Amino acid sequence: MTDNVLLRRGSDQRLTAKLIDFGCASWTENPIGFNCGEGASNHIAPEVRKGKVVTTATDVYSMGRLLEDVCRVYKPVSRGLSSIIRTATKAKPNNRQSLAIMIQGLKADLTSEVRT
């Protein structure tokens, strides 16, 4: 799980996590046709394992699996975050939310958690 996470301690001693290098897809919706078979096996999207076209949906899947790993450690998990993870990790790429919708949902969920 930690291959794609950098931790940095700020001057206030709080840790900040940065997600890096999902690397299989670009930030555009243009599909690319190469096989990206490295990484934690449970983070690799089903379409990559089958050698199919890689899109941003591939990164959405990997991000969903990473969030799932984090949530196993840090509980309780909000309904909003559970829904984001469930949608992000659907087997068929067309059934996953877009990267923009995922980010929007994460921001909304984090904002609501801070308020409560």
Q: Residue 67: how many CA atoms within 13 Å on its side-chain side?
A: 23
Which has the closest alpha carbon to 65: 41, 34, 48?
41
- Per DSSP, the residues of 84-95 read HHHHHT-SSGGG
Contact 96, 61 (CB under 8 A): yes
Question: At the top level of CATH, which class does the domain 2-115 belong to?
Answer: mainly alpha
Tens of pLDDT, residues 58-114: 889 988 998 898 888 877 888 999 999 999 999 999 999 998 899 899 889 888 765
Q: Domain ranges in the chain?
A: 2-115
Tens of pLDDT, residues 19-71: 665 554 444 455 544 444 455 577 788 998 888 888 889 889 988 998 898 88
